[in-house]
Structure 1
Amino acid sequence: MNGSVNIEIKAGIGTITFFHPQSNSLPGEILNLLADTITAAGQNQDIKVIVLKSEGERAFCAGASFDELISIEDFETGKTFFSGFAKVINASRKCPKLIIGRVQGKAVGGGVGLASAVDYCMATKFASVKLSELAIGIGPFVVGPAVERKIGVSAMSQLAIDATEWQTAEWAKQKGLYTELFDSAETMDEAIDKLAEKLAASNPEAMLLLKKIFWEGTEHWDELLDERAGMSGKLVLSDFTRQAINKFKNK
């Protein structure tokens, strides 16, 4: 596998780290492994709180793997690929543990979806965001509900429509995606460690009930995100999208 997902458990804190050499992009295999790792961490009695992060310095997550997108040749393959993002979002939503997100750099497409699916997200000032899907002929259909839940319809539609423009980390904080911004990854990590340690010592039942309240109204997301994956799976087969992806890849 070209990439990895790892988990480290220490003092009640489960730190899940994903990596891909292409700016932490997410091929299907990584998506499925990430979803399974989040689900397993939620069931692990040794873990009280989860931290979700990626490797590297300037890219949190580049979203969908262009190499995999361009290789899709039929609807079922396309839907299966986009269902990977649905699995990660739903795994985060259903996880009985609170999840802290660590966003050290730029987040694109599915990366914005990941940042939206955690329960508390910290970022550096370098963590700009962009939903670039429309620029390659599809749309942020699968991640859209998670992004909309976090920052509202107006801000989500701004990202989705102006698909080639970055919005700053400060913009994302003002809209509610990030809770706090830091000048460096080091100061962010200190704050994450401090919060994670507090949560690891908190009442697990109280945190579970809080999480259920936070995610009220999303109980239909298994069906909703499956339907949205089908939208993307169909569009990715169009000539427009295939040409747009190739153009992006060749830049």
Structure 2
Amino acid sequence: MVLICVIYLEKSLHEPMYFLVCSQAANGLYGGTALLPSLLSNILSGFYEVSLACCLTQIFAIHTYAIVEFTILAAMSYDRYVAICYPLQYHSIMSLSRTYKLITLVWLYPLLAFLLVFVLTLQLRFCQNTIEKLYCHNHSLVKLSCTDTSLVNAVGLLSVALYSLPQLVMVLYSYVHILRICMQLPRQSRLKAFRTCMPGLASVANYSVGCFLEIVQSRLEGGHLPFRAKAFLSIYFLIMPPIINPVIYGMSFNAIRVPLLRLLWLLWRRGR
């Protein structure tokens, strides 16, 4: 929230990259809100039940959070690609109007991508009621159905490919071309370009590892892993990226770090 406030208040940060950082922080709040209140309520109350309506709401929120996060990372990689490979045309390619359209697409595409799977899940009839996860997960809920789920499973697997492969291609394409350009630059310019890309690469790596762990333990049933290990792996992508990303961007970009520290200093002085 502090990062969002800094980007909103500091006019010099009203640039495409920082708008995307702001969107990523907002998505982290969205994903955390989908998980943490219900999780903390269960822990404090010892009451581990949830209504079907609340479960479906959590499924929609968590899955759309996951797709939005990966889509934002792809948009960030494209922004860095344009900035490094086409520096003179950057402000014309990444104009504010195009940035707003890109951010709108970042939020709308995941909602539409997951909608078909979600609608199919709504039509199922359930005859079991135990989900062995810390939150409601679409595949875990589908397994509780007493009707044929082959169509939902097939569409679910296809959807995973559709809402992850385009982003993965964009990320790989962008950073491969950035690397190619960087190798042609003088040493000082190369280091500057690498520093610009490192926060995005760190975010991609952190989130990709979390998603991979969740997909593996969810689809393959975690093998012989104990429940506590599976529980940790399943919530990593929901907990760690929203915690780590603001720190990465807040400390890596001098344009964010300086006003951020100034704002924190003012808040501390007022508190005294």
Is TM more than 0.5 here? no
Structure number, greater radius of gyration: 2
TM score, norm. by length of structure 1: 0.32
Give the number of the structure whose residues are more often helix, by fraction. 2
Give the number of the structure whose residues are more often strand, by fraction. 1
Greater relative contact order (CA < 8 Å, ≥ 6 in sequence) = 2
